[in-house]
Structure 1
Amino acid sequence: MNVGKQEKKIELFGISFDALTMKETVALVNEKLKNKEPTHVLGINADKVNELSHKGQFNQIIRRANIINADGASIILASKILRKPLPERIAGIDLMQELLLLAEKKNYRVYFLGAKQTIVTTMNTCLKAKYPVLNVAGYRNGYFKKENWDEVANELKLCEPDIVFIGITSPLKEQLIDYFLEQNINSVYMGVGGSFDVLSGAIKRAPIWMQKYQLEWLYRVYQEPKRLFRRYLFGNSKFIVHVLQELFR
């Protein structure tokens, strides 16, 4: 299948989502890698839709992303309510692991940027056990200031990775990816949030049955109630308002 000719966009909340399955997304990323196209792979959830309403520069970065997936059950549900259904949720951690399989198979060089040094080091060890011939170009923690971005960019230029996974919170990771693209560092970039913590074993992922029934968010609240309860309570309420506005627009 020629993925490029099959690309379909669906407009929601002013964002052009790629209406692709996981398999189609991986195939499209592979095309970008084969063609040496600098690419920003972005997962959108309810939080990011909420952030878009009040962050001008962030809005521009989001809309410039090359591949935009629905990374949240709320986005999939909203797409159905708005009669513009997206095919399936593309969870960031699942896509990351699919791309690691692709990288191992095709010998693409990967780089991990983010989290604490102990986390990213442990994750690298765990991934080497799971993907024994994975070509890791390098890794480093995500604790650096904006004045050090040049230093990190130079490191990437030396390593020449094909795929860069960035485990830093939003909107910083999106701004950092945008900066790397401006520096003409020709890689595929994917922000993966807290996936490094899960893949290192520091945080346990929700059971498969909860993932299947789109309840992974509930498991996260159970793990970190103080940090996430208010975020989900108020964030989800705000997102519902965005859906209603989109519905009656």
Structure 2
Amino acid sequence: MYKELLGYKIFSDNKEELLKAIENKKRVNIISGNPEVLYNGIKNEFLKNSFTKEDALIIPDGVGTLLAAKINGIDITEKIAGIEVMNMLLEEARDKNLKVFLLGAKEDTLIKCEEKIKENYDGINIVGSNNGFFDLDNCDDLIEKINESKADILFVAMGAPRQEVFIEKYKDKLCCKIFMGVGGSFDVFAGNVNRAPQFMINIGMEWLYRVAKEPWRIKRLGSIPKFLVLSIKERGKR
């Protein structure tokens, strides 16, 4: 169910088994393991410690992660995108009456995101929300707000590494069972950004579509070759 890559335990099974793995953990921090996020962890001890804790569950999000696994002879069943897991959890939340809190993005995006989720998942219980513009070192009021909501699931959409830092820094002070950094997913729900066409997702080219639509993402691609170089070096040690 998990395969080791560059010091990380990467979930290697299918989406159905992923849901079971989430349910089997008392508390879980779901990490979208794309090359940028994993490389951040390699270069940042605070994040590496977070990503290797017992409550961490790293999903293979991104063709770069699958390529790194292949380089090292590691079999991963499928790429699992963060937004797909978010959709799965929203469905679970609706069906099991779990409480959801949305944290991140700009206020107008957050409002539209919440409206769309309620439209797509009729009856879902979104118990609170807060935009992503706040001081990470001054979160007492926000922590109180989340805890008062009694949320079971916290989705954090503030981009890497800010969202991962927030979760690790404050998760032990929060009531939630499931934590997940979801990057730009609120923008997708709000309709600000579209996911790539299915055929591009199927062939692992969603990243190219996103760069074409949001050219500022180009600067974030630099971590991919660095991550792959480390993967090649890792293979030499095996």
User: Could you tell me which residue of structure 1 aligns to residue 118 of structure 2?
Assistant: 128
Q: TM-score, normalised by structure 2?
A: 0.94
Segment of structure 1 superposing worse, 41-50 or 134-143: 41-50
Query: Which runs of structure 2 are paired with 1:54-203 in the superposition (5 Å)?
Result: 54-64=43-53, 65-203=55-193
Q: Is the 8 A contact 2:143 2:174 kept in 1?
A: no
Superposition RMSD on alpha carbons, in Å? Answer: 1.4
Residue of structure 1 equivalent to 2:213: 223
Cα deviation for residue 184 of structure 1 reads 4.8
- How far off is 1:74 after superposition? 1.2
Aligned-partner SS, 1:148: coil
CA distance in 2, matches of 1:84, 1:62: 19
2:23 corresponds to 1:30? yes
**Structure 1 stretch displaced more, 12-21 or 190-199:** 12-21
For 1:168-221, what per-residue CA distance to the aligned partner results, in whole angstroms no more than 9, with x for missing partners?
Answer: 112221121122322152421011000000111011111111111110000011
Do the aligned partners of 1:62 and 1:174 also contact (CA within 8 Å) in 2? no
The count of corresponding residues between Structure 1 and Structure 2 is 236
Once the two structures are TM-superposed, the CA of residue 110 in structure 1 deviates from its matched residue by 0.7
> Are the aligned partners of 1:58 and 1:175 in contact in 2 as well (CA < 8 Å)?
yes
Distance verdict in 2 for CA 1:29–1:182, change over 3 Å: same
Q: 1:13 aligns with which of 6, 9, 14?
A: 6
SS in 2 for 1:133: coil
| SS class of match (1:17) | strand
Letter in 1 for 2:223: G
Could you tell me which residue of structure 2 aligns to residue 50 of structure 1? 39
Instruction: Give % identity.
Output: 30
**8 Å contact from structure 1 (residues 15, 63) kept in 2:** yes
How far did 1:143 drift? 0.6
Q: Does 1:39 align with 2:32?
A: no
Equivalent position amino acid for 1:29 in 2: I
TM-score w.r.t. length of structure 1: 0.90
**Aligned counterpart, 1:210:** 200
The one-letter amino acid of 2:101's match is Y
Distance apart, 1:12 and its partner CA: 0.1
Change (3 A) 1:147 1:66: closer
Which one-letter code corresponds to 1:104 in the other structure?
R
| Unpaired segments ≥5 residues, structure 2 | none
Gaps of at least 5 residues in structure 1 are 1-7
Secondary structure in 1 matching 2:146:
helix
Q: Distance in 2 between matches of 1:205 and 1:213?
A: 14
1:5 is aligned to: none
Query: C-alpha deviations, 1:42-86, integer Å up to 9, x for none?
Result: 111111232233212121111124211111111112212211111
Residues 110, 186 of structure 1: CA spacing in aligned structure 2 closer, same or farther, 3 A cutoff? Answer: closer
Q: 2:227 aligns with which of 212, 218, 239?
A: 239
